[in-house]
């Protein structure tokens, strides 16, 4: 009888231990894997982000803007210069099929352009990491998809490039004497072939 009771007690203890493990109280419980960190989408000033419509951007950017449309492309440019870093610049939003695809700041510094340019390199590297040298043709190709006459390749110089974690391309460069710009290209536009009309090709 004692042997039967002893065997029964062993079975009861084993069952209790199994229940504890099943409930998550076991000493050797399996660790739960942590959720992978989600990469957030690129966000510009005032909460503006890629794929927004002209109406959405206008509701967030308080500076008055002028708008023009050519085919599937629309361009909105601030009617007055806006503050960026410690400077002021013309701000341009570029849309394809009413979705935000490109943003540029255009600066005009007649007397201290070199100092201002290198200050912005430092500021952008502080935010996005070390820059890479890039070919002027990259900037030319991006802008040609919208306005082939906007830039002359030979005038684009000292191109510094960054890629944000979501694939946004960022470029700082001279496009004329004492005039330089920061260009933000959406991941769709930065991808090879992005922005081109390939219908029927």
pLDDT digits (tens, 9 = 90+) for 161-198: 999 999 999 999 999 888 999 999 999 887 655 555 55
Q: What are phi and psi of 23, to 5 degrees?
A: -80, -5
Residue range 38-67, pLDDT digits in tens: 444 889 999 999 999 999 999 999 999 999
Q: Is the pTM of this model over 0.85?
A: no
Residue 163 domain flag: yes
Report whether pLDDT(20) > 50: no
What domain range includes position 62?
46-190
Q: From the CB of residue 84, how many other CB atoms can be counted at a distance below 10 Å?
A: 15
Residue 7 domain flag: no
Residue 55 domain flag: yes
Residue 30 domain flag: no
Domain count, the chain: 1
Residue 11 domain flag: no
Report whether pLDDT(25) > 90: no
pLDDT score, position 1: 39
Beta bridge partners, 82, equal 89
Residue range 59-76, pLDDT digits in tens: 999 999 999 998 889 999
Residue 165 domain flag: yes
First to last CA, the chain: 89
Report whether pLDDT(108) > 70: yes
CB 74, CB 94: distance < 8 Å: yes
């Amino acid at each position: 009888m004692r042997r039967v009771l002893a065997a029964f007690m062993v079975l009861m203890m084993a069952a209790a231990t199994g229940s504890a493990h099943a409930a998550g109280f076991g000493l050797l419980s399996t660790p739960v894997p942590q959720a992978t960190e989600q990469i957030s989408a690129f966000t510009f000033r005032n909460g503006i982000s890629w794929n927004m419509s002209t109406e959405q951007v206008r509701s967030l950017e308080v500076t008055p803007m002028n708008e023009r449309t050519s085919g599937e492309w629309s361009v909105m440019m601030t009617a007055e210069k806006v503050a960026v870093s410690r400077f002021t610049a013309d701000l341009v939003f570029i849309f394809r099929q009413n979705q935000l695809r490109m943003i540029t700041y255009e600066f005009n510094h007649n007397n201290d352009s070199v100092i201002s340019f290198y200050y912005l390199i430092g500021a952008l590297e502080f935010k996005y990491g070390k820059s890479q040298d890039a070919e002027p043709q990259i900037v030319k190709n991006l802008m040609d998809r919208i306005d082939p006459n906007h830039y002359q390749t030979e005038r684009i110089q000292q191109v510094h490039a960054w890629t944000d974690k979501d694939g946004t391309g960022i470029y700082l460069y001279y496009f004329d004497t004492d005039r330089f710009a920061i260009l933000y290209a959406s991941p769709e536009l930065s991808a090879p072939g992005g922005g081109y009309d390939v219908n029927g090709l």
